[in-house]
């Protein structure tokens, strides 16, 4: 169930993963790209935006989008510490994504009011995340760790968990992943390709977002 407006409160992890078929994994090196990119993605039907903490400009990009694109829901990716959680919250992030899971990070995000999608790749990590009350998880690195086969194996023991597979996900395999009952959405970097960013080809990014918005499980049924 999608949230009704970007400013709806409180936002939950389920709201995040159920909003659209794809959460774009965005790496920004130029703050000038942040706002037009966000507008282009929103125009194509994608508004949950994961801005990764992989560049020195990431926090400034989050602040710009939060201030100038109210239709977007700013998320922060690559969180690794409680300090990261505090920093992205101040920058306007409304949800968080991490490459792995620790109880300390889960508690820091909960204290900050940031819904967290922690990365998991094993059954033990899923159990640890559930111990912290988390039931919407990022499966990372998805294709390298087992892909569709592992997700199918998890359906039995973890029927109450929803996953966002990320890592090696492309349009060619996204549909098969989205057809699984325990996959709510996928994460992918193809919605913000570096050449389009460098050229300012926002129409191309909107077209990619529209295509991603149409990656529904029903397409395979």
Is residue 185 predicted with pLDDT exceeding 70? yes
Query: What is the phi-psi region of residue 147: left when phi exceeds 0, alpha when psi lies from -120 to 50, beta otherwise?
Result: left
- CA 106 – CA 83 distance, rounded (Å): 12
- Catalytic residue of the set 71, 138, 176, 198: 138
**What's the pLDDT score for residue 178?**
97
Is residue 148 predicted with pLDDT exceeding 90? yes
The pTM of the full predicted model, rounded to 2 decimals, is 0.93
**DSSP string spanning 122-157?**
SHHHHHHHHHTT--EEEETTHHHHTHHHHHHHHTTT
**What's the pLDDT score for residue 6?**
40
152 in catalytic set: no
pLDDT tens per residue across span 56-108: 999 999 999 999 999 999 999 999 999 999 999 999 999 999 999 999 999 99
Counting residues of the chain whose pLDDT is more than 90, the rounded percentage is: 92
**What's the pLDDT score for residue 39?**
98
Going along the chain from its start, the domains and CATH numbers come out as 13-220 (3.20.20.70)
pLDDT tens per residue across span 104-139: 999 999 999 999 999 999 999 999 999 999 999 999
């Amino acid at each position: 169930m999608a949230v009704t407006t970007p400013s709806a409160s409180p936002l939950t992890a389920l709201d995040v993963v159920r909003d659209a078929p794809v959460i774009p994994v965005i790496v920004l090196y130029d703050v000038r790209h942040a706002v037009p990119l966000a507008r282009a993605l929103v125009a194509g039907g994608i508004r949950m935006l994961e801005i990764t903490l992989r560049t020195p400009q990431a926090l400034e990009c989050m602040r710009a989008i939060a201030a100038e694109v109210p239709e977007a829901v700013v998320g922060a990716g690559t969180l690794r510490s409680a300090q990261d959680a505090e920093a992205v919250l101040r920058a306007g992030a409304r949800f968080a994504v991490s490459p792995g899971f620790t109880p300390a990070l889960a508690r820091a995000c909960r204290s900050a009011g940031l819904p967290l999608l922690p990365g998991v790749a094993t059954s033990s990590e899923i159990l640890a995340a559930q111990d912290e009350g988390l039931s919407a998880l990022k499966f990372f690195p998805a294709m390298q760790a087992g892909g569709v086969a592992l997700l199918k194996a998890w359906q039995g023991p973890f029927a109450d968990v929803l996953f966002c597979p990320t890592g090696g996900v492309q349009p060619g395999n996204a549909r098969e992943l989205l057809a699984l009952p325990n996959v709510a959405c996928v994460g992918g970097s193809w919605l913000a390709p570096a050449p389009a960013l460098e050229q300012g080809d926002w129409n191309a990014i909107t077209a990619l977002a529209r295509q991603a918005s149409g990656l529904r499980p029903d397409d395979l049924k």
